[in-house]
Amino acid sequence: MSLRIVVCVKYVPDASGDRAFTEDLTTDRESVDGLLSELDEYAVEQALQIAGSTDGAEVTVVTVGPEDAEDAVRKALQMGADKGVHVEDDDLHGTDALGTSLVLAAAIEKTGYDLVVCGMASTDGVMGVLPALLAERLRVPQVTLLSEVAVADGAVTGRRDGDAASEQLSASLPAVVSVTDQSGEARYPSFKGIMAAKKKPVETWDLDDLDIEADTVGLTGAWSAVEDATARPPRTAGEIVTDEGEGGKQLAGYLAEHKFI
C-alpha cells in the first residue's frame, strides 16, 4: 500500500516576541522572528508516526507564507518529512482564512494526497478553521481535533475530545485530519535529521502554478476587513502583599471589598 500524506504547517511570529500589526492592519511578520507554529509540530509528529507504520508512505510538508516560511518547511524536513512545498507570492499578503484555504487546497491537490494532517490551530490567527475549510473544498471527510489518531485499511479513526463529550470518529480515506497538543509530544530533529534535510527537495510555487487569480486572494480578495487594532492597555499594577501569616485573610478582605464574597 502506498500512502501520500500531506502535512500543512504555518510559519508564525514567535508568541514570546512583541507581536503587532503593520500600517495596513495585517500581521507584522518582519519585526518579530518567525518559526514553525508549535502546534503544527504535533501534526508533523503524527504524520511521521502514521508513515512509520505504513509501507510506501511519503510525507510532504506544505506551507503558504512569505519567503522566510521555508524555515518552517525545513524544520519539518529535519524532523523526518520527505519533501516540501512552499507556496509564496506577493499577492498573498493579507489573505483571509477562506483565501488561504483556496490556495492550500490547490497546493494539496497538485501534490496528490490520501491523507492531509493539520494542527489544531495556528498560534497567530488561532481560528482553528483551516482543516474544516480544506475538507469542504477537497470534498473529503474532516476528522478533526483528534487527541488520538490511527490509520489502517484505508480508514482513519480517532478520538475527539469536545466541549460536551468525547467522540470516537471514523472515516475512509482520502480525508483531512487535525490533531491537538494532546496527541503526543513532537520529536526533536536529530543531528542526522538536520543533515539529511539539507538534501531534501523543496518546491516553490506561486499563484500561477496553482491557476489562482491574484484578485481572489490577498487583502483585496479578502471577505473580511480589519477596521482598527488597538494595543491592550497594560493592566494597572495591583496591590502585592507578602504573606506573613495574614496573606489569606488579606486576600479575602480584597475579595469581600469587591463583593466577590
Ligand X SMILES: Cc1cc2nc3c(=O)[nH]c(=O)nc-3n(C[C@H](O)[C@H](O)[C@H](O)COP(=O)(O)OP(=O)(O)OC[C@H]3O[C@@H](n4cnc5c(N)ncnc54)[C@H](O)[C@@H]3O)c2cc1C
Sites of contact with ligand X (CB under 6 A): 8-10, 27, 37-40, 43, 62-65, 95-98, 100, 104, 118-119, 121-131, 224
**Minimum Å distance from CB 231 to ligand X?**
13
**Which of 202-205's residues contact partners 24+ apart within 8 Å by CB, and which partners?**
202/70, 202/73, 202/74, 202/77, 202/83, 202/84, 202/85, 202/86, 203/83, 203/84, 203/85, 203/86, 204/70, 204/85, 204/86, 204/87, 204/88, 205/85, 205/86, 205/87, 205/88, 205/107, 205/110
Cell 512569505, residue? Answer: 66
Q: Phi and psi dihedrals of 19, rounded to 5?
A: -70, 145
User: What is the footprint of another protein within residues 35-54 (CB under 8 A)?
Assistant: 39
Q: Phi and psi dihedrals of 203, rounded to 5?
A: -90, 145
**Minimum Å distance from CB 67 to another protein?**
22
Asked if 24 is part of the footprint of another protein (rule: CB under 8 A), the reply reads: no
- Rounded Cα distance between 218 and 86, Å, is 17
Nearer to another protein, 2 or 224 (CB): 224
Asked if 141 is part of the footprint of another protein (rule: CB under 8 A), the reply reads: yes
User: What is the footprint of another protein within residues 203-242 (CB under 8 A)?
Assistant: 222-232, 234-235, 237-242
Output the CA torsion 212→218→224→229 (10° steps): 160
Stretch that binds another protein, among 3-11, 75-83, 84-92, 143-151 (CB under 8 A): 143-151
**Minimum Å distance from CB 198 to another protein?**
32
- Rounded Cα distance between 140 and 117, Å, is 13
Q: Find how far residue 18's CA is from the centre of its chain.
A: 20
Asked if 254 is part of the footprint of another protein (rule: CB under 8 A), the reply reads: yes
Applying CB under 8 A, which of residues 31, 33, 90, 127 lies at the interface with another protein? 127
- x/- binding map, residues 53-92, to another protein, per CB under 8 A? ----------------------------------------
Nearest to 1 by CA among 56, 44, 82: 56
Asked if 243 is part of the footprint of another protein (rule: CB under 8 A), the reply reads: yes
**Minimum Å distance from CB 155 to ligand X?**
21
> 180 touches which of another protein, ligand X, none (CB within 5 to 8 A by kind)?
another protein
User: What is the footprint of another protein within residues 152-171 (CB under 8 A)?
Assistant: 157, 160-171
Size of the residue set binding another protein (CB under 8 A)? 82
